[in-house]
Each structure stands twice: as structure tokens, then as C-alpha cells.
Chains A and B, each alone.
Chain A
Amino acid sequence: MARRTLRGLALGYLLALLVLPVGMVFARAFADGLGPVWAALSRPETLHALWLTLAIAAVAVPANTVFGVLCALALVRHDFPGKSIVNAMVDVPFTISPVVVGLALILVYGQDGWVGSWLAQRGIQVIFALPGMILATIFISIPFVVREVAPVLREIGTEQEQAASTLGASGLQTFWQVTLPSIRWGVVYGVVLTTARALGEFGTVAVVSGKIAGRTETLTVLVEDRFQAFDLAGAYTASLLLALLALATLFLMNVLTAREEA
């Protein structure tokens, strides 16, 4: 039956391309049992990488959340000169190669960069240091909150907000008590996607961090570093952590979607 053939083809493709490879991470990581995994996990560089990854996300995600909501409000509710440019700019981080992003940040914030040279004179190092990595992470995760919140804003319309203002609420009150609650699911999705992206970014951070072991390696950079050092156990262990984070993200999104629909 044609239906079964189509189904088989689709599922087979997904199995071969997605499911089996990801399964391999688990298989390879635990190939020699729990021992090597635990050893790799407890190594200082792994722990540092984990800490660094989480710390960067802890800064980037809130920043982009606040920005995202404001930007979505601006794009949906207001008309201003240059609006279409702003709209296009929001998508740029999505469409540019991470390596090019890294290059761009180096050119601006590096030792000889436009802003970087000014900062270097004051002893502030951005590139090959934590601030640069935070900037990089912010850059590549800009679109998500905006793109999740904007359609929700568009859909709910301004009626509720107008009702609130006729009832005497100030702009800020309306925002906190009417707007924010009604876009909360968009914000939640945006935050989850931003976090996932922030935790998983590789290319840009690799360029901008200098990959200094134990100092500026995030989990993703650690994976590559361990691989190049022929430490497969280390590479797979770090990958395992990241894969678990990815699956947790997917799971969370699905649970949240189900809860929203209920």
C-alpha cells in the first residue's frame, strides 16, 4: 500500500539520519562502562567547561529575553523609521555562518578592533576572554524570543490593552498585568530555544574564545578539543552531556506545548 511505503521511507530516513547517530553517542560514551564516563566528567576541564557554558547562558538568556520582548513590542505595535531594517537585522544571526560572526566580533572587540582597542587601553579584554564569549552567545541567540513573541502579540491584538487603558491602567501596569501574561507562552518558548542555542553554540564561540583549555572552553569547544587530542572518551562524555541537554530541551518544549494547548 502506498501509505505504508511513504511511511516506511520517511521513518527510515529519520532513523538513519537522526535517531541512530544520536543513539551512537550513548553507545560510544558507555562503551567501556560507567567508569571512563565518570572519570571524564570529574576532570577539572570538563567541570570548568560545564560551569562556563552555564554561566554564559545565565547572562545571555536574560539579556536576550528582555531585548526580545521589547523588540517584539516595537516591531508589532509601533511604526518607526528603519523598522524593516530592524526586522531584517533580527534574522541575521540565524542566516550568517557562525565563523563569520566570530570574525565580525574579533574585528570590533579584538585588541585592534574598533571598540576593542579602546577597551584594551582600559585593561578590558573581550576577545579570547569571557566577555567575548558572552557577546558571541548573545549575538547568535538574538532571534528566538523576538520570533516567538511577535506572532503572539500580533494575534492577540491590542483590544485587551485598550480595555485596560480605558479602565485607568498606566502603560507600565498594562504591560505587566495584561500584555506580559498574554504573551507568556511565546516568552517561555523563546527562552527555551534561546537557552538551547546558547548552550550548544560552537563555531562562533570557538573562534572568539581562543580555545584556551581550562579557561575559555565551553562544553562544545571541549568536545572538539578532546577529539583532536584523540581522547575519544572525553569527547563522547562531553557530547553525552550536550545530547542530554538537547533531549531535555525537546522534551520540555513538547511538555510546554501540550500544557499550553490544554
Chain B
Amino acid sequence: MGWGVATIYLSLMVLVPLAAVVARASAGGLGAFRAALGSPEVIATLALTFGAAFAVVAVNAATGTLIAWVLVRDRFPGQRLVNAVIDLPFALPTIVAGLTLLALYGPKGPLGINVAYSRAGVLLALLFVTLPFVVRSVQPVLLELDRDMEQAAASLGASHGLIFRAIILPNLLPAILSGAALAFARAIGEFGSVVLLSGNIPFQTEVASVHIYGQIESGDTTGAAVVSVLLLALSLAVLLALNALQRWGRRYDG
């Protein structure tokens, strides 16, 4: 009974709408896709979206691991509070995130830094919304990590740096990749936080989601569907690659 309900609900809610997007995109035929791929604005938008997502994911891989490390291996007052703060990007509406970043790092910001209407603004917004993913992915793995391995390495003469590089990091890699995949998927499609901060300047700071929004507003649903399908297909490819990388990283798990 349960699975019948589940399947119907999901089909109605998820499958059918997605199919509609693919159908609309195909309604324009191959010509529509060629037109989209030939449009410099679309290319620029996709390039910026993917470029920004990759950049942000790379930064997150480092900062996420660092933050997870400090939360797990360090002890300081207020640690529990810091741990709770990590989830803020999950809880805060994206539009509010954009507004707050604009308030602090925009034209009227108190710090004198202004990243509004620039690519740096796009990156900043994406860094905000993707912050929790790698941290929350790495934290449990770090907690469970067998300290004996590190002590064995120490008894064999390895320095702290080597222990981190040769012992800890390889064992964290699957978790880092998994968090990176989630962060990537989020960054690709992010809308609310970017829309205020970037100024949505075509060829400069217009990300895919904003472009699609513009197409919907102007009634070009076919064009919107085409770019959506391109976006989905490309991000699926990246996610599959990351998945394969993860499985390769787990190959020694026997």
C-alpha cells in the first residue's frame, strides 16, 4: 500500500513536471537546441554558472574540511554554538541571504568592500549557500576515524603533516567528494541569493537560473526549457563523474 501511494505522489509531483520540461524542450526540435548553443548569451551564462560552481566547490573542499577539523579535533568555548551556526545557510531563505551579503559587502557596506554587480558577488553568494555541505559530510567521518592509524603512523616516524596528508586525507576523500557533489548541484541551480547580489548583467554576472527566469518572464517557455535541459544534462554529467570518483576512492573498502 505504502509504496503505491509513494509512487503515485512522486510521479504526480516530480516525474510529470520534469517530463514536461523535457517535452517542451524537445518540442522545439534539434533546431531549438542548436539555437541555444549558438547563442553567445546562453554560452556565457552556462560558462559562468559552471565556472563559478567549480570554483566554489574547490574552495569549499578546503574550507569545509578545515571547519570540520576544527569542530571535531579542537576544543574551545562556544564550540556547540559554532556547530549550530553551520546550518544557517540551510535555514535562511536564499533571498535573505542575498540581501544580507549585499548589506555587508555591497555599495553601502560598512567594510568598504563592494562586490555587488560583479563575478565576485556571484562567488560570494554561492559560497554562502554551499557552506554546510562539505562540513556536514566530513564531520561524521572524521568523528569515526580510527585514531590508531594515526598513532601507528606516528610510531613509524611520520610527522603531523605527513600523517594528515598520507593517512587522514585519503580516508576523508570520499566524504569530501560527496559533500562537493551536493555543493555543486546546489551552486549550479542557485537563484535567490545570486539574483540580488550579482546584478544579473548578461555576459558578465548572469547565471543560468537567472537567464531561465528571464526567459519565463518574457514568455519564451521553449527557450527556458531548452536551457533547463542543458543545465540538467551537464550537471548530471558532473555528478556522475563525481560519483565514479567516489567509488574509485572507496575501492579498498573490500
A interface residues with partner B (beta carbon < 8 Å): 2-3, 6-7, 9-11, 13-14, 17-22, 24-25, 27-28, 67, 70-71, 73-75, 77-78, 80, 82-83, 86, 89-90, 92-108, 113-115, 135, 138-139, 142, 193, 196, 199-203, 206-207, 219-221, 223-224, 227, 235-236, 239, 242-243, 246-247, 249-251, 253-254
- How far, in Å, is B52 (CB) from chain A's closest CB? 14
Between A28, A95, A224, A250, the greatest number of chain B beta carbons within 10 A of the residue's beta carbon is seen for A95
Q: Are B131 and A224 in contact (CB under 8 A)?
A: no
Known contacts A11-B82, A96-B189; is-contact A20 B104 (Cβ 8 Å): yes
B7 proximal to A (CB < 8 A): yes
Q: Are B14 and A21 in contact (CB under 8 A)?
A: no
Known contacts A17-B127, A202-B93; is-contact A104 B20 (Cβ 8 Å): yes
Q: Are A107 and B84 in contact (CB under 8 A)?
A: no
Q: Are B94 and A25 in contact (CB under 8 A)?
A: no
Closest residue of chain A to B87 (Cβ to Cβ) is A250
Q: Are B91 and A246 in contact (CB under 8 A)?
A: yes
Task: Specify which of B93, B124, B189 is in contact with A99 (CB 8 Å cutoff).
Answer: B189
Q: Are B190 and A13 in contact (CB under 8 A)?
A: no
Q: Are B128 and A14 in contact (CB under 8 A)?
A: no
- How far, in Å, is B6 (CB) from chain A's closest CB? 4
Binary contact track B185-213/A, C-beta < 8 Å → 1, others 0: 11011111001100000000000111011
> Inside 8 A of B128's CB, which chain A residues have their CB?
17-18, 21
6 more A-B contacts (CB under 8 A) besides A99-B213, A202-B94, A254-B80? A18-B88, A70-B5, A78-B3, A139-B17, A142-B14, A220-B96
B interface residues with partner A (beta carbon < 8 Å): 2-3, 5-7, 9-10, 13-18, 20-21, 23-24, 63, 66-67, 69-71, 74, 76, 80, 82, 84-97, 99-101, 103-105, 124, 127-128, 131, 160, 185-186, 188-192, 195-196, 208-210, 212-213, 216, 221, 224-225, 228, 231-232, 235, 239
Q: Are A202 and B192 in contact (CB under 8 A)?
A: yes
- How far, in Å, is B117 (CB) from chain A's closest CB? 14
Known contacts A113-B20, A239-B96; is-contact A18 B131 (Cβ 8 Å): yes
Q: Are B89 and A98 in contact (CB under 8 A)?
A: no
Q: Are A86 and B189 in contact (CB under 8 A)?
A: no
Q: Are B93 and A201 in contact (CB under 8 A)?
A: yes
Alpha-carbon distance A4/B50, docked complex (angstroms): 35
Known contacts A89-B15, A97-B191, A242-B93; is-contact A74 B2 (Cβ 8 Å): yes
Q: Are B2 and A97 in contact (CB under 8 A)?
A: no
> Inside 8 A of B93's CB, which chain A residues have their CB?
199-202, 219-220, 223, 242, 246
- How far, in Å, is A68 (CB) from chain B's closest CB? 9
Q: Are A202 and B191 in contact (CB under 8 A)?
A: yes
> Inside 8 A of B91's CB, which chain A residues have their CB?
196, 200, 246-247, 249-250
Closest 9 CB pairs of A and B: A97-B189, A200-B93, A104-B17, A74-B3, A203-B191, A107-B20, A21-B100, A202-B192, A24-B103
Alpha-carbon distance A254/B87, docked complex (angstroms): 10
Q: Are A224 and B17 in contact (CB under 8 A)?
A: no
Q: Are A7 and B24 in contact (CB under 8 A)?
A: no
Between B14, B74, B87, the greatest number of chain A beta carbons within 10 A of the residue's beta carbon is seen for B14
Task: Specify which of A3, A71, A94, A249 is in contact with B9 (CB 8 Å cutoff).
Answer: A71
- How far, in Å, is A134 (CB) from chain B's closest CB? 11
- How far, in Å, is B164 (CB) from chain A's closest CB? 10
- How far, in Å, is A81 (CB) from chain B's closest CB? 10
Closest residue of chain A to B10 (Cβ to Cβ) is A89
> Inside 8 A of A9's CB, which chain B residues have their CB?
66
Task: Specify which of A106, A235, A239 is in contact with B216 (CB 8 Å cutoff).
Answer: A106
- How far, in Å, is A127 (CB) from chain B's closest CB? 11
Q: Are A6 and B6 in contact (CB under 8 A)?
A: no
Alpha-carbon distance A78/B186, docked complex (angstroms): 31
Q: Are B88 and A139 in contact (CB under 8 A)?
A: no
User: What are 16 A-to-B residue pairs whose CB atoms are below 8 Å?
Assistant: A18-B88, A28-B103, A74-B2, A74-B5, A97-B209, A98-B191, A98-B192, A99-B212, A106-B221, A115-B16, A139-B14, A200-B94, A235-B99, A239-B96, A250-B84, A250-B87
> Inside 8 A of A135's CB, which chain B residues have their CB?
13
Alpha-carbon distance A242/B97, docked complex (angstroms): 10
> Inside 8 A of A28's CB, which chain B residues have their CB?
103
Known contacts A17-B128, A21-B128, A138-B13; is-contact A99 B191 (Cβ 8 Å): yes
Q: Are A95 and B189 in contact (CB under 8 A)?
A: yes
